[in-house]
Structure 1
Amino acid sequence: MSRLLHTSDWHLGRTLDRHSREEDFDAVLAEIVGIARESQPDLIVHSGDLFDSSRPASRDLMRAMRTLDELAAVAPTVVLAGNHDSPAYFEFLGYVSGPSRGRGLFFVDQLRPPHDGGVLTFDACGGEQRIRLAVMPFVHPNRFWQHSSVFGTTYADYAEAMRGLQAELMAALREGHDPGRDILLFAAHVFVAGARPSRSERSVDLNEAYATAPADLPAVSYAALGHIHAPQPVGGVPFPARYAGSPLQLDFGEAGESKSVVIVDAEPGRPVRVMPRRLSSGRQLAHFTGTLDELRAMAPQFDGTFLKAVITGEEPDPLLGRTVAEIVPHAILVNAAPAREAHPGAVLDADPADEPELPDALRAYLAGRGMSGSAAEATVAAFAHLLTEIDDETPPPAPAEEMLQAALEHTWTEAS
């Protein structure tokens, strides 16, 4: 029997309203390593968004590599680049820490042809079985943009292209397939239509129009998916496909969610056994709405949590935050605000902490200017790509810099 450990969406470097989550990340990553050592998988898959930023801080790079090294000591570990990750960073990490250096770490930096890194093969059960894994890191819609197109990529273009890419991977998986020995798996960082987001994902990359249809997923024993932070199975497919989800509650859109990794036991030619393993490390996020007296009565249950409190029945008070903090001294108070009554003339009707992301703000602006549909979505997608793009080239020198350099190279000397 072969065993897979599936984890995803660590988002190392994520903070919560300027509160560090490093303590929580250290705790939950240690728990994941402990589960790996206990369960002894034949393969470990991380299905994308290792980091929260395309330019992670050095301490987050170290945190990631220490943990991945510990996992790779248990079993070969494959890490896909998600929409938050930098392909350039992944290429570098693969160069210094990959199989060419004798390590069991495989960084999938970008979509590759099936016969050039798109399908990976691993022995299992002492060589009696073989795991064949097709890998699809995040594929941006701009990949399919045609210069001849006025409006860029359309929804139909994206769906058709993704369908073709997945079909190519499936065809490669089946080449030389031995039904008595091989287990076929698919790992992808992709938004599948019908999946339930947590509201903490980057919304511009969860547009339903650019979703992959469940029926387009390759027919494998198990599909290990990343991108959605709420752990969940994918409906509409005749085989197990699952989002492992984020290991921590990343923001208050995930408050109350149970987090997990997934253990999958597989035998050639038989249905797999999928076993989500709940994670218990990391501080929880909690909401409270009610009066100060009600908060006093419930205060002990918020010990050790990140708390967002909305207080009802109080007049405006600049010291409300201090009062709430005194009532729940063992909670990390992220926000405390009085409840607001809706007013027809109010200009601000949302919590300032819920300010939309820049791509969403651009989409709203374009709609206000009369642009919608595929043209607007292509513009927003291009803008989002520019926000996260890594500039790997030396920036061009400024004109003043060029003039100074020319003067230094051709110094003027007085004629004798």
Structure 2
Amino acid sequence: MKALHTSDWHLGRTLQRRSRDEEFDAVLAEITAIAESVQPDLIVHSGDLFDTYRPAHKDILRAVRCLYGLSRIAPTVVLGGNHDSPELFDLLGYLCTLRPDADQGRLRFVHGRGDTEPGTVLDFDSRDGRERIRLAALPYVHPNRYLHLFPGFGTTDGAYAAGLRELQDGLLTRLLDGHDPDRDVLLFTAHQYVGSSVPSYSERMWEAREPYATAADALPQVAYCALGHIHKPQPVGSGRLPARYAGSPLQMDFGESEETKSVTVVDAAPGRRTLITPHTLHSGRRLARFAGTLEELGASAAQYRGVYLKTVIRSEEPIARLGERVAELVPDAIVVDVEEDCAATRATVMTGADATGEDQLDVTAAFSAYLADAGTPGQNADEVVTAFTGLLNATDSAVPHSPAERLLAEAIASPWTSAAQDATETAS
């Protein structure tokens, strides 16, 4: 059995308002070509099909065209990620029922709403009919909604991971129901953050941090775990468990500038060790960063042909028309950002060495000197210094909390649990 694993397309993503539509078209065509070459028995997309809950119509059309093309090669399952709308997935799933081959289930969208138990188990036959592929699919479960599913876990650190583990265990039980060890190949796909993985920092980092991390050893023991959510392609855990983040197909921002993007081909069979092979993607523009002088940039300009470039230019004195100078030196690059690191204007942190004889920092005098160096006119500078001194010498006063702040403080002090709810209901 062969499976193709891809993830985190984030269709509609831009780079500082620059459209990347041509890159998306090219990389989706490349993924389709790999699928044509490999001829997998199943294609799994492990979430974040789109970049926003309300993608543009052109991005929906781009997704549908590519997914329909992939589903003609092999049955295709698309998992809901944290960027994906369950309602939109409902619409796309309905459109699938209108296809002539709808009864074959060639394209399926799996999502969860948070108020009903997410996850499902899907069965597919291999091309030769000798094997049955059983896929347990767990879409993204939002941390704000899992309490509806697991009220008994409370709100402490680790509660979310414990809830996910219970969901995964329940799916594994369903996966093993009627399991034929001589014929079945068991797979698991989820959109979640595993604590041992390395993020690219282009993800929504508040959703990819330790309080929401699940442990690698909590993943189901199956032939392969197809993971989504983290944009850096990588294996997960110690390597004993066949689990992998497929990663995003394009470098989404400069946090991914050193990453090689890929899709993953999985070769598995009952009773045999799983073979995992990344296939490198080449269609996206490379994102690059440069830090140095204008002379150094000019000397290395050849390596930045066709890339998105972010620069930090170091100098002793301010450089007039810096952006134009950079563009002239690297005409074949798409310059996204130019930052100047000038020694003459570089801010310095005041320390004890700047103290007066009374061992106190004269902050007002330092601020006045800064305004003078910046060329602020005298009258304006005097007004600004007066306002600054007034703020500096103002007496701190206790600001009363708003009702919302009080309610939030009370909720934090007494986290909601099922036991607390029972007590409240009894008292009422």
Give the TM-score of the pair, scaled to structure 2: 0.77
Structure-1 residue corresponding to 2:22: 23
Q: Does 1:343 align with 2:348?
A: yes
Structure-1 residue corresponding to 2:169: 167
| C-alpha distance 78-129 of structure 1, shift in aligned 2 (>3 A) | same
Q: For 1:100 and 1:197, how far apart are their aligned partners in 2?
A: 38
SS in 2 for 1:145: helix
Deviates further, 292-301 or 334-343: 334-343
Structure-2 residue corresponding to 1:74: 73
Do 2:112 and 2:119's aligned partners in 1 also have CA atoms closer than 8 Å?
A: no
The 5-angstrom pairing of residues 12-411 of structure 1 reads 12-98=11-97, 102-103=101-102, 104-110=106-112, 118-145=120-147, 153-236=155-238, 238-339=240-341, 341=346, 343-344=348-349, 375=412
Do 1:249 and 1:259's aligned partners in 2 also have CA atoms closer than 8 Å?
A: yes
1:236-273 alpha-carbon deviations (Å, 9 max, x no partner): 46321000000000000000210000000111111110
1:216-255 alpha-carbon deviations (Å, 9 max, x no partner): 1111000000000000000146321000000000000000
Instruction: Report the alpha carbon displacement of residue 158 of structure 1 after superposing the two structures with TM.
Output: 1.3
Do 2:114 and 2:149's aligned partners in 1 also have CA atoms closer than 8 Å?
A: no
Give the TM-score of the pair, scaled to structure 1: 0.79
Instruction: Report the alpha carbon displacement of residue 291 of structure 1 after superposing the two structures with TM.
Output: 0.7
Q: For 1:141 and 1:115, how far apart are their aligned partners in 2?
A: 14
Structure-1 residue corresponding to 2:392: none
Q: For 2:309 and 2:149, how far apart are their aligned partners in 1?
A: 49
Do 1:111 and 1:137's aligned partners in 2 also have CA atoms closer than 8 Å?
A: no
One-letter code of the match for 1:52?
A: D
Residue identity (%): 55
Structure-1 residue corresponding to 2:388: none
Q: For 2:133 and 2:24, how far apart are their aligned partners in 1?
A: 30
Do 2:118 and 2:138's aligned partners in 1 also have CA atoms closer than 8 Å?
A: no
What RMSD over aligned residues (CA atoms) do the two structures have, in Å? 3.0
One-letter code of the match for 2:129?
A: G
Q: For 1:147 and 1:38, how far apart are their aligned partners in 2?
A: 42
| C-alpha distance 86-114 of structure 1, shift in aligned 2 (>3 A) | closer
Q: For 1:41 and 1:182, how far apart are their aligned partners in 2?
A: 16
Instruction: Report the alpha carbon displacement of residue 114 of structure 1 after superposing the two structures with TM.
Output: 12
Do 2:70 and 2:76's aligned partners in 1 also have CA atoms closer than 8 Å?
A: yes
Stretches of structure 1 lacking an aligned partner (at least 5 in a row): 348-368, 379-416
One-letter code of the match for 2:90?
A: E
Deviates further, 270-279 or 107-116: 107-116
Do 2:86 and 2:113's aligned partners in 1 also have CA atoms closer than 8 Å?
A: no
The number of aligned residues is: 355
Q: For 1:147 and 1:39, how far apart are their aligned partners in 2?
A: 39
1:44-87 alpha-carbon deviations (Å, 9 max, x no partner): 00000000001000010011111101100100000001000101
Instruction: Report the alpha carbon displacement of residue 314 of structure 1 after superposing the two structures with TM.
Output: 4.6
One-letter code of the match for 1:70?
A: G
One-letter code of the match for 2:349?
A: P
One-letter code of the match for 1:292?
A: L
Do 1:3 and 1:42's aligned partners in 2 also have CA atoms closer than 8 Å?
A: yes
One-letter code of the match for 1:46?
A: H
One-letter code of the match for 2:206?
A: V
Instruction: Report the alpha carbon displacement of residue 195 of structure 1 after superposing the two structures with TM.
Output: 0.6
1:317-365 alpha-carbon deviations (Å, 9 max, x no partner): 3510011001111110001111254521699xxxxxxxxxxxxxxxxxx
| C-alpha distance 45-342 of structure 1, shift in aligned 2 (>3 A) | farther
One-letter code of the match for 2:277?
A: M
Q: For 1:339 and 1:217, how far apart are their aligned partners in 2?
A: 46
Instruction: Report the alpha carbon displacement of residue 143 of structure 1 after superposing the two structures with TM.
Output: 2.2
| C-alpha distance 147-35 of structure 1, shift in aligned 2 (>3 A) | closer
Do 1:191 and 1:228's aligned partners in 2 also have CA atoms closer than 8 Å?
A: yes
Do 1:152 and 1:375's aligned partners in 2 also have CA atoms closer than 8 Å?
A: no
Q: For 1:99 and 1:167, how far apart are their aligned partners in 2?
A: 34
Do 1:307 and 1:333's aligned partners in 2 also have CA atoms closer than 8 Å?
A: yes
| Structure with the greater alpha carbon radius of gyration | 2
Q: For 1:105 and 1:275, how far apart are their aligned partners in 2?
A: 24
Instruction: Report the alpha carbon displacement of residue 100 of structure 1 after superposing the two structures with TM.
Output: 7.5
Stretches of structure 2 lacking an aligned partner (at least 5 in a row): 351-365, 368-404, 416-428
Instruction: Report the alpha carbon displacement of residue 154 of structure 1 after superposing the two structures with TM.
Output: 2.6
Q: For 2:116 and 2:281, how far apart are their aligned partners in 1?
A: 34
Structure-2 residue corresponding to 1:390: none
One-letter code of the match for 2:34?
A: I
